[in-house]
Amino acid sequence: MKILVCISSVPDTTSKINFTADKSAFDKNGIQWVINPLDEFMLTKAIKLQQSHGAKVTVINVGDASTDAVIRKALAIGADNAIRVNTEAKDSFSTAKEIANVVQTEDYDLILCGKESIDYNGGAVPGILAQLLECSFVNACVGLEINGEEATAVREIDGGKETVVVKLPLVVAGQKGLVEEKELIIPNMRGIMSARTKPLNIKEPMGAEVKVETVSFDSASPRAAVKLFSPDDLDELVRALHEEAKVI
C-alpha cells in the first residue's frame, strides 16, 4: 500500500500575527513554523497504517525552501520519503493542481489531508484534489480502517456520524478524532537522525493557474474590556445586558 500525506507549513498557534504596513501580505518575520495540526493527525494515522499494513508513506508539501524544516520533522515522525513542489502555495486550486500533477505519476492507494489548515482555513484543497484525480472523497473523517481494496471511514455529519465503505484509491480529509491527541508521535533522536538521510525530492511546479487574489488583510478587532458586576447587584447586571449589551 502506498500512502501520500499532504502537509502544509503554518504559523505556530502561539505566534503573534502581523501584516505588512500596506496590509497586502502576511508578515513572516519572527514566526515559528509547524506542521499544520490537522495534517499531523493524518500523518500519525499514516504511520499507524505503515506499522499494521506495511504501507509506504510519502509526504508532500507545496512551498519554497523555507518549509524544508517542517518536511524534515514529518520524516522524523516516520514518513519514508518526501516531495516538495517548489512554489509558494497561493490558493486552494493551484495548490491542489500542483499536488495532482505529482500524484498522477504515481499510484497511491490512499491520500490523507487535514480537513483544513489553521492559517487560512480554506478547507478546499482535499475536495478539489479528489475531483482532479477522479477519486472517491471522504470529508470530516474521524475513523478509518483499511480492509484489502476497501476503506471503512467514519465521518462527522450534522447531528451525528456516518460510516461508509469506499473502494480505493481514496482521498480523505480528516480531523482531530481520527487519532487521539495523546497518540501524536514526537520525533526521537533516532528519527531525527534518520530524517537527514531520507529522500526529499524537489519537483518544479507546473505553473497552475492561481484563481484567488488577496486584496488586503485586517487584524481582528481587539477584545472589549471586561466589565465585572457584584453578585449582590443583579439589577445592575440586568440593566447593562438590556441597555448596553442589548442582548435581552
User: Picking from 21-25, 35-39, 121-125, which range would have the lowest pLDDT averaged per residue?
Assistant: 21-25
* pLDDT one-digit tens code per residue, 140-165: 999 999 999 999 999 999 999 999 99
Mean pLDDT value across residues 110-122: 93
Residue 87 lies in a domain: yes
Structural domain boundaries enclosing 55: 2-221
- The CATH number linked to 149 is 3.40.50.620
Residue 25 lies in a domain: yes
Residue 99 lies in a domain: yes
User: Picking from 12-21, 109-118, 157-166, 208-217, which range would have the lowest pLDDT averaged per residue?
Assistant: 12-21
Round to whole Å and give the CA distance between 129 and 108: 13
For residue 155, give Cα distances in angstroms to 31, 160, 161: 33, 9, 6
Number of domains within the chain: 1
Round to whole Å and give the CA distance between 238 and 108: 61
Please report, as a single letter, which amino acid is at residue 141: C
Residue 96 backbone phi and psi in degrees, to 5: -65, -40
Q: What is the reported pLDDT for 196?
A: 93
Residue 247 lies in a domain: no
Query: Do 104 and 116 contact (CB within 8 A), yes or no?
Result: no
* pLDDT one-digit tens code per residue, 78-94: 999 999 999 999 999 99
* pLDDT one-digit tens code per residue, 43-69: 999 999 999 999 999 999 999 999 999
Query: What is the b/e burial string over 136-170, where b = at least 16 CB atoms within 10 angstroms of the residue's CB?
Result: bbbbbbbbbebeeeebebbbbeeeeeeeeebebbb
Residue 207 lies in a domain: yes
Residue 122 lies in a domain: yes
Residue 248 lies in a domain: no
**Element at 45 (helix H, strand E):** helix 37-53
| DSSP state letters, 143-170 | EEEEETTEEEEEEEETTEEEEEEEESSE
Q: What is the DSSP letter of 245?
A: S
* pLDDT one-digit tens code per residue, 171-195: 999 999 999 999 999 999 999 999 9
Round to whole Å and give the CA distance between 62 and 9: 9
pTM: 0.87
| DSSP state letters, 87-135 | S---SHHHHHHHHHHHHTTS--SEEEEESS-TTT----HHHHHHHHHT-
Residue 160 backbone phi and psi in degrees, to 5: 170, -155
